């Protein structure tokens, strides 16, 4: 049997096991209600070798080719998006950075336990003042008078943090006049690493997300992630691709539920399945799945062959994948009517969970702006397009953006925000244009073209601007109409009484 066939068979076996296991052993509703994964699920995943799919054998893993591993993740997300996200955070953001960028010492210390599921991992990047912009990191690495390096800072919304045995922590490090982003794989029991309060999030309720405080955490060179910024960019880009895979499982499950419901539901005009609204929604789900799947397969194939990928390709799939996923969940919920809004019927929970995908690893708007700003100044971006028509159109949009931002009718104080507004629409255009050319399915290409054309129309309409002072006036008007009420009702006390605390 060829290596490829053996890998596919092993992935098929894991997928079959997940399907059977989920039927009787995964209580998604209970985990959601309790805001906690069932420990036996994590233990059983470990026993099946699930956490070692991206780990080489020399470090205790049982690796699969990336496209096969993604098939397993897609199935897991179809069962439950929260469980898929927990798994993705551990494997993509916790384990993989150490495998790809950790020192040999760190790999030997952490990776075998991570691959066997005896330890979990995560990524500590986001801060109160630095979400999608790593250059705004305030957490820092300081070298003391004793020559030792220590970490200080405050991280927030860190997935899996309280469950993790090791966290990949990114901070700002200054050496003389040079300031750079540095990463360290930090043991969770390191003195000074404090697990902070848990965030009661809208969705993904069963996956712990909490604050992490760095209070002089001592690190050495053996814990450093090689490359610093490059390691962070690689980790974020891989995570963005993984999020698109989570969306694939989610969209297909929602389409499955819609078909089942529409086939059985009778309305005034007959079966719901025969109504054009239902047909249109199912067609949208199918097109979205094809569009995202083709992009994921192409990028994963390039990574398997160790072919370099432009960051724009990762950003594009992160823009398109979550936006289409949430649109699918929203439309399916709407067509299910009251049953869609009813928590036990699954789609309501998926609606809450899928909402995070548009924020996680960079909000859509921030990525659109980043990609659009690059398109305005970097002519090399055109080389990513195979079609001369798209290259010419990109040049036209770039010229239009340049001319618009130089328009003397635009007040100088507004030009920056004007350029950002143009960049958001241009970034969306680039994202869907790139996905369009990689999709082999006609319906998927048509959907991408529709989204691309919509982005261009919005780009051309950006000139309708609000005066800079209007947002404040709006806020004042709303406050006059509805007041400014903050609910401060008493809630549970969770701290020890003063007479019982340590002196």
What digits encode the pLDDT tens for the residues 269-309?
A: 999 999 999 999 999 999 999 999 999 999 999 999 999 99
Task: Give the sign of the dihedral formed by CA 484, CA 489, CA 492, CA 497.
Answer: positive
Lowest mean pLDDT among 14-18, 314-318, 436-440, 470-474: 470-474
Question: pLDDT at position 376, please?
Answer: 94
Q: Tell whether the model's pLDDT for residue 496 goes beyond 90.
A: no
Q: Tell whether the model's pLDDT for residue 412 goes beyond 80.
A: no
Task: Give the sign of the dihedral formed by CA 109, CA 115, CA 116, CA 121.
Answer: positive
Q: Which helix (H) or strand (E) holds 267?
A: strand 266-267
Give CATH 1.10.540.10 domain extents, the chain: 3-120
Please state, in angstroms and rounded to a whole number, the distance separating the CA atoms of residues 303 and 234. 12
Question: pLDDT at position 463, please?
Answer: 57
| Residue 140 half-sphere exposure toward CB, CA atoms < 13 A | 8
For the chain, helix, strand, coil in percent to 5 are 60, 15, 25
Segment 358-378 shows an average pLDDT of 95
Question: Could you tell me if 271 and 262 are in contact, meaning their C-beta atoms sit under 8 angstroms apart?
Answer: yes
Segment 365-385 shows an average pLDDT of 95
Q: Which CATH architecture has domain 3-120?
A: Orthogonal Bundle (1.10)
Question: pLDDT at position 33, please?
Answer: 96
Give CATH 2.40.110.10 domain extents, the chain: 122-226
Extended strands (E) in 137-243: 140-143, 149-159, 166-175, 178-187, 193-198, 209-219, 224-225
Please state, in angstroms and rounded to a whole number, the distance separating the CA atoms of residues 309 and 299. 8
| CATH superfamily for domain 122-226 | Butyryl-CoA Dehydrogenase, subunit A, domain 2 (2.40.110.10)
Biggest CA–CA distance in the chain, Å, is: 80
The residues, any chain, with a CB within 8 Å of residue 82's CB and separated by 6 or more, are: 28, 31, 32, 37, 203, 204, 205, 206, 207, 353
pTM for the model stands at 0.94
Question: pLDDT at position 468, please?
Answer: 52
Quickly state the pLDDT bin for 417 (edges 50, 70, 90).
Answer: confident
Question: Could you tell me if 14 and 48 are in contact, meaning their C-beta atoms sit under 8 angstroms apart?
Answer: yes
Share of the chain above pLDDT 70, in %: 98
């Amino acid at each position: 049997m060829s290596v490829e066939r053996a890998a596919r068979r092993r992935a098929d076996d894991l997928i079959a096991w997940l399907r059977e296991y989920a039927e009787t052993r995964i209580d998604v509703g209970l985990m959601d209600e309790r805001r906690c994964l069932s420990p036996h699920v994590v233990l059983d995943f470990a026993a099946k070798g699930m956490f070692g799919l991206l780990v080489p054998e020399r470090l205790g893993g049982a690796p699969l080719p990336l496209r096969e591993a993604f098939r397993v993740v897609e199935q897991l997300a179809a069962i439950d998006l929260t469980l898929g996200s927990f798994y993705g955070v551990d494997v993509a953001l916790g384990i993989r950075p150490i495998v790809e960028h950790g020192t040999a010492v760190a790999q030997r210390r952490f990776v075998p336990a991570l691959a066997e599921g005896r330890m979990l991992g995560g990524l500590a990047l986001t801060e109160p003042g630095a979400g999608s912009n790593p250059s705004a990191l305030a957490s820092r690495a300081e070298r003391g008078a004793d020559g030792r390096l220590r970490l200080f800072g405050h991280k927030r919304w860190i997935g899996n943090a309280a469950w993790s045995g090791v966290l990949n922590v990114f901070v700002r490090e200054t050496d003389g006049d040079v300031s750079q982003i540095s990463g360290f794989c930090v043991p969770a029991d390191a003195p000074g690493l404090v697990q902070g309060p848990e965030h009661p999030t809208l969705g993904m309720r069963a996956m712990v997300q909490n604050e992490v405080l760095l209070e002089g955490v001592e690190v050495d060179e053996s814990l450093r992630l090689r490359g610093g910024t490059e390691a962070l960019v690689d980790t974020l880009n891989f995570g963005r691709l993984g999020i698109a895979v989570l969306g694939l499982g989610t969209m297909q499950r929602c389409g499955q539920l819609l078909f089942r419901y529409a086939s059985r539901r009778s309305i005034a005009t007959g079966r719901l399945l025969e109504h054009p609204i239902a047909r249109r929604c199912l067609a949208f789900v199918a097109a979205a799945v094809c569009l995202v799947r083709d992009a994921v397969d192409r990028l994963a194939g390039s990574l398997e062959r160790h072919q370099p990928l432009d960051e724009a390709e990762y950003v594009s799939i992160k823009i398109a994948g979550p936006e289409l996923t949430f649109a699918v969940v929203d439309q399916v919920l709407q067509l299910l009517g009251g049953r869609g809004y009813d928590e036990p019927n699954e789609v309501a929970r998926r609606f809450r969970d899928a909402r995070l995908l548009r924020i996680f690893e960079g909000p859509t708007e921030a990525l659109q702006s980043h990609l659009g700003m690059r398109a305005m100044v970097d002519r090399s971006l055109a080389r990513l397009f195979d079609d001369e028509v798209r290259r010419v159109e990109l040049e036209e949009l770039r010229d239009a953006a340049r001319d618009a931002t130089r328009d003397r009718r635009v007040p100088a104080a507004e030009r920056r925000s004007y350029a950002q507004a143009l960049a958001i629409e241009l970034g969306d255009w680039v994202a869907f244009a790139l996905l369009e050319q990689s999709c082999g399915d006609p319906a998927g290409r048509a959907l991408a073209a529709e989204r691309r054309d919509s982005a261009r129309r919005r780009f051309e309409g950006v000139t309708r601007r609000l005066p800079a002072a209007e947002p404040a006036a709006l806020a004042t008007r709303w406050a006059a109409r509805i007041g400014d009420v903050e609910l401060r009702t008493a809630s549970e006390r969770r701290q020890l009484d003063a007479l019982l605390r340590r002196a």
